[in-house]
Amino acid sequence: MKNWLREAQKLQAELEQRQKKIAEARVEASSGGGVVRAVVSGHGELLELSLAREVVEAGDPDMLADLVVAAVQEAQRKAKELTQAVMADLARLLPPGMGL
Protein backbone atom coordinates (compact mmCIF):
# COMPACT_ATOMS: atom_id res chain seq x y z
CA MET A 1 0.00 0.00 0.00
CA LYS A 2 2.83 2.40 0.89
CA ASN A 3 4.49 1.68 -2.45
CA TRP A 4 1.23 2.36 -4.31
CA LEU A 5 0.83 5.70 -2.50
CA ARG A 6 4.39 6.69 -3.39
CA GLU A 7 3.72 5.86 -7.06
CA ALA A 8 0.48 7.86 -6.97
CA GLN A 9 2.35 10.88 -5.60
CA LYS A 10 4.97 10.59 -8.35
CA LEU A 11 2.22 10.36 -10.94
CA GLN A 12 0.48 13.44 -9.50
CA ALA A 13 3.72 15.43 -9.56
CA GLU A 14 4.39 14.39 -13.16
CA LEU A 15 0.85 15.31 -14.19
CA GLU A 16 1.15 18.74 -12.57
CA GLN A 17 4.49 19.38 -14.28
CA ARG A 18 3.05 18.49 -17.67
CA GLN A 19 -0.07 20.59 -17.12
CA LYS A 20 2.15 23.54 -16.26
CA LYS A 21 4.17 23.01 -19.44
CA ILE A 22 0.98 23.01 -21.50
CA ALA A 23 -0.41 26.10 -19.73
CA GLU A 24 2.82 28.03 -20.38
CA ALA A 25 3.11 26.98 -24.02
CA ARG A 26 2.53 29.45 -26.84
CA VAL A 27 1.61 28.05 -30.23
CA GLU A 28 1.65 30.12 -33.41
CA ALA A 29 0.07 29.71 -36.83
CA SER A 30 -0.50 31.99 -39.80
CA SER A 31 -2.66 32.19 -42.89
CA GLY A 32 -2.67 34.06 -46.16
CA GLY A 33 1.05 33.66 -46.59
CA GLY A 34 1.69 35.15 -43.17
CA VAL A 35 -0.55 38.22 -43.39
CA VAL A 36 -2.58 36.94 -40.41
CA ARG A 37 -0.82 35.45 -37.40
CA ALA A 38 -2.49 33.90 -34.36
CA VAL A 39 -0.86 32.85 -31.09
CA VAL A 40 -2.73 30.62 -28.66
CA SER A 41 -1.93 29.13 -25.27
CA GLY A 42 -1.36 25.42 -24.86
CA HIS A 43 -5.04 25.24 -23.92
CA GLY A 44 -6.03 26.85 -27.22
CA GLU A 45 -6.98 30.26 -25.85
CA LEU A 46 -6.27 33.12 -28.25
CA LEU A 47 -3.46 35.30 -26.86
CA GLU A 48 -2.41 37.41 -29.84
CA LEU A 49 -3.69 38.23 -33.29
CA SER A 50 -1.60 40.16 -35.82
CA LEU A 51 -2.85 41.51 -39.13
CA ALA A 52 -0.56 42.83 -41.82
CA ARG A 53 -1.44 46.34 -42.94
CA GLU A 54 -1.95 45.24 -46.56
CA VAL A 55 -4.64 42.70 -45.67
CA VAL A 56 -6.54 45.29 -43.64
CA GLU A 57 -6.21 47.95 -46.35
CA ALA A 58 -7.38 45.49 -49.02
CA GLY A 59 -10.93 46.34 -47.96
CA ASP A 60 -12.25 42.77 -48.13
CA PRO A 61 -13.74 42.01 -44.71
CA ASP A 62 -14.97 38.56 -45.74
CA MET A 63 -11.49 37.51 -46.85
CA LEU A 64 -9.98 38.97 -43.68
CA ALA A 65 -12.47 37.12 -41.51
CA ASP A 66 -11.70 33.85 -43.33
CA LEU A 67 -7.96 34.37 -42.84
CA VAL A 68 -8.42 35.12 -39.13
CA VAL A 69 -10.55 32.02 -38.63
CA ALA A 70 -8.04 29.87 -40.53
CA ALA A 71 -5.06 31.12 -38.51
CA VAL A 72 -6.82 30.71 -35.15
CA GLN A 73 -8.10 27.24 -35.99
CA GLU A 74 -4.64 26.11 -37.13
CA ALA A 75 -3.04 27.45 -33.96
CA GLN A 76 -5.67 25.68 -31.85
CA ARG A 77 -5.10 22.43 -33.78
CA LYS A 78 -1.37 22.72 -33.09
CA ALA A 79 -2.06 23.36 -29.40
CA LYS A 80 -4.20 20.22 -29.24
CA GLU A 81 -1.41 18.21 -30.87
CA LEU A 82 1.07 19.63 -28.36
CA THR A 83 -1.18 18.63 -25.47
CA GLN A 84 -1.56 15.11 -26.84
CA ALA A 85 2.19 14.79 -27.33
CA VAL A 86 2.99 16.06 -23.82
CA MET A 87 0.44 13.77 -22.17
CA ALA A 88 0.82 10.72 -24.46
CA ASP A 89 3.11 8.54 -22.39
CA LEU A 90 1.57 9.42 -19.03
CA ALA A 91 -0.57 6.27 -19.15
CA ARG A 92 2.57 4.12 -18.89
CA LEU A 93 3.08 5.44 -15.37
CA LEU A 94 -0.29 4.13 -14.20
CA PRO A 95 -0.64 0.79 -12.45
CA PRO A 96 -1.97 -2.00 -14.68
CA GLY A 97 -5.73 -1.80 -15.18
CA MET A 98 -6.00 1.93 -14.54
CA GLY A 99 -6.46 4.41 -17.36
CA LEU A 100 -6.56 8.19 -17.77
* Cα 24 to Cα 36, 67, 72, 86, distances in angstroms: 23, 26, 18, 12
Give the CATH number of domain 23-89; options: 3.30.230.10, 3.30.420.40, 3.30.1310.10, 3.40.50.1580: 3.30.1310.10
Q: Where are the domains of the chain?
A: 23-89
Q: What is the pLDDT of residue 2?
A: 80
Q: What is the pTM of this model?
A: 0.80
pLDDT (mean) for 60-77: 97
- DSSP conformation letters of 44-88: --EEEEEE-HHHHHT--HHHHHHHHHHHHHHHHHHHHHHHHHHHG
Average pLDDT, the chain: 90
Residue 12 has pLDDT above 70, yes or no: yes
